[in-house]
Structure 1
């Protein structure tokens, strides 16, 4: 069996996961000479569709890590709207330089449960959505080159194996999922900002609507861009997309958590890669 299609499937609220998936897809395309189809399920409209992938495809699944796991509001899409047919896949997770915790294991497990054969995985440190002081400007060219080198190793696996037969796949020893990481304030006590929502500087807002357009939860009203009408997941898509710098968070616990991250997690983390039988 020969591969006939390459898919990049990703959630990327602030753009870093998209950059990583595009780098991976373009690298593989150079050697496999396959057409690339991107499925960006960041926005609600894309999560209404169901996508079925054939046996002769390779799927690059990418997601940001939230609190050490796959984002809980995006997990139902993976569980209910992505389906493989013994389809080869890579799981590529990006995290904000704190920890990817169980996210890699969780992605591998979920993909296996839904018809994919995961033959490789990556956890890549990228600039944190909350602050530019963690993993600043990553993924940088060094990160992308490390990813390319990993994919070259993967290429040898693909070229040396009969893809119609069983290939070695990544497995996980995870039997139970831990709770999501509980954020802490600067003094080490729990930070409670679940109900925090973005605020708007009225003197700066141009009412362009880009914040509402970019919200992965559709939580910002298109009628009144200052109004939050749904669940805010603190992804920072509105803050980072606002050209006028009008969106911001002022919740005290949230800001204290950001300060804690900046204090304790500035040391750059190394990217981690796995091929089958190495996790």
Structure 2
């Protein structure tokens, strides 16, 4: 991509007349409706081409209005290819209204050897909003050492930050205390409420030692919990089971009709 493409936008919000509108705008990722019912919707994100190449930029804007609930589904993961040192960007801006809910179980984000990626996730939460976000970062494809990744996640509530985290990863150089020699960092963030207990009751535990193969749970000062697993192979991660335990679909107003805008620049 030589020019900055327009952002991919998904907006689920209640209109003044009480109806709920789902607006979808295609960018490098194309949003497609899977299901919708009342104030809830499920939307797939489909790549419109090969992503990410050197110089590519992907911008996602996700907005969930007051009292609405959105599930995002990735169709295929993302591979950042060897860009010969040229940087690429992946930015997601998420805004959740009062009593809004977003669940996004994203698929692996693979940083190939030679890739140079800057990734930013910004979330704003209103009162009683909840976010369940999974991010799986993988250094390198099979038998690769992996490229360079700078990633920052900020989650802000109405009055104070919920989470601010920056990670720098480079497959050529291990960073003690970050990936600790592992190539997979699988994280699940629940923000806006405390995590229910997982099978062993440790979901609300401290950030102390963990047994090999287990996820580490980090309770946040504001309501929320971060679960993280480090490993070599994505299929060995326990985070999928934690997702199932933490996933609590919010109730929806079944009497409200969803209108999807279909016009120029919007997807069916």
Same fold (TM over 0.5): no
Q: Which structure is higher in RCO with an 8 Å CA cutoff and minimum separation 6?
A: 1
Q: Under a length normalisation based on structure 2, what TM-score does the superposition of the two structures give? A: 0.33
The TM-score with structure 1 as length reference comes to 0.32
Bigger share in strand: 2
